[in-house]
Structure 1
Amino acid sequence: MADSTELVTVAELINNARLEVLQGEDYLDRPIVTSNICRPSLEFAGYFTHYPAERIQLLGITENAFIKEVPHEKLAEYCERLCCDETPCFVITSDLPIISELKEAAAKAHIPILGTHLTSSRAIGNMSAYLGSRLTPRESVHGVLVDINGTGVMLTGDSGVGKSETALELIRRGHRLVADDRVEVYARDERELVGSAPTILKHMMEIRGIGIIDVMTLFGTGAVLDEDEVDLIIHLETWSADKQFDRLGHRGDTRTIQDVVVPQISLPVKTGRNLAIIIESAAMNFRAQQMGFDATDAFNQNLQALIKANSNGEG
């Protein structure tokens, strides 16, 4: 499904990044369209050729010290040029005061000024983490995401193959539901894929023959998780005698989502198989592999040692 992004306002940023309003309480509905933060420095020297006006503008100790060297007339001009229509807000860190020129220019342009006692690096970290999770393009994937002992496992497969029923059994075994039917995924970075449920489906599951159930109501708050990394994809396929399935774990299949490569295992679905136990074991085996132990490699080494021992005995 096509990528989508959410709209974030300055008011939401304040509530999630430990900020307070210093000026402009009536203009907190201004949109923020990027998680990148600008620390204007060259702009206070008069260079605006590449000024990223759409970013949050942050002023810390370094910027404040440089500003003191700028003449009042020039400083007033530069502050007015900083206040563009697309500028969402200004953030003043380290409990620094607002310079009068910026206060006047921002009030005239209806741009709020926010403040924090945090240092610039801490404030940038908080804002970037929140905005990154909200503004990064998302992709909707058909599947179920469950957390199995700290490993995020996404179950995929055709409709009716048993994804939700298997996830329900995993929840009964003490694991946690993140999303059922649709998983909204985004790339935290080039190596980490994160999934969550669409707001309307949060904590909900659809079980054929029963309908919609609320997992948190039935199993408690410990049975759900708002979001989780997608560490492993397990693709459920209807068993067929004509298809060859990997028996020893050599194939190393992967699936690429949002440019992130995720390991994938294909499991045949057949009457009589306890998929929940198999998937639980697959997640535990995957975690062991991540910690450096691979049962397949151990088996191969034992087999080679046995072959060598038999060869030496024959000789």
Structure 2
Amino acid sequence: MHFSSIPTLGVGLAADVSGVLPNYRNFLPPNSDTIDYLSFGAHYLQLARVKHYIDDLISLGLPIVFHPINFNIALEESEDPEVVSRTAAIASHCNAVWTGQDVGIWTCRGQYLGSFLVPAIFDERSALEVAKKVRYLNENFPCPFLIENPPVTFSLETMHMLDFISVVAENADAGIVLDIGHLIGYQQATGRQVNDMPLGRFPFHRVVEVHLAGLQFSRIGNDTNIIDQHAYPVHDLCWQFLERNIDRMHNLKGLTLEQEFCEDELVLTHLRKARVLTRHTGLFS
């Protein structure tokens, strides 16, 4: 399936399948404030864990968005066929509507890097190498594989991250997961003003999913470091970016609240605000 044919889902919640902070089951019917889909991340060896926690919801037809965590999308070298097949098996078992992963180096010599992942080099050559890998993954997945702009605390680049993502998406003919917190953190890390972005040439029509989360501000000497932080309330800078640009995202299918480790009461506040925003724009009507 091409990303442009993905069905519209609505507002979703990213949470661990175990349901520990937040308990996503509190946002499913018959509760009054409900999510339209569940998004989760999983290691390629965790199919049994996924089955244990959400097989009942899969059977009920709850839409699922799956975030793999084992691919080194930023590297030209081939992915392990076992990692590809087992990751695809999770997507297949969940009937995932789409999958997506940040463009970075997630593992090194078998060690999962997690929040220490290394972003791609943002230049033309790297973009074309990444596009080749994304095409390969799309050929081997049961649903569209999207690219996400990664978290960045340092950057080796000859182009802005949005331009890099644009080149990858155009050459791979892929959809995009636009993580607003990652983008704001990148602006700070590279010495740019928050609003100094090349949005006029960014292919918003390829944005399938948007991620919203909190921002953590840390002082390091005279500098301020900004990182995407799922355990914090969604920051006003993220809401404001979405409000200014949501009308450009004509193919947006899902607005995901990344809320791992947040209390249910905070998730409820964000869910209601997201509903107000999408109703006002008529996005998911």
The structure with the larger Rg is: 1
Structure with the higher strand share, 1 or 2: 1
Structures share fold, TM-score greater than 0.5: no
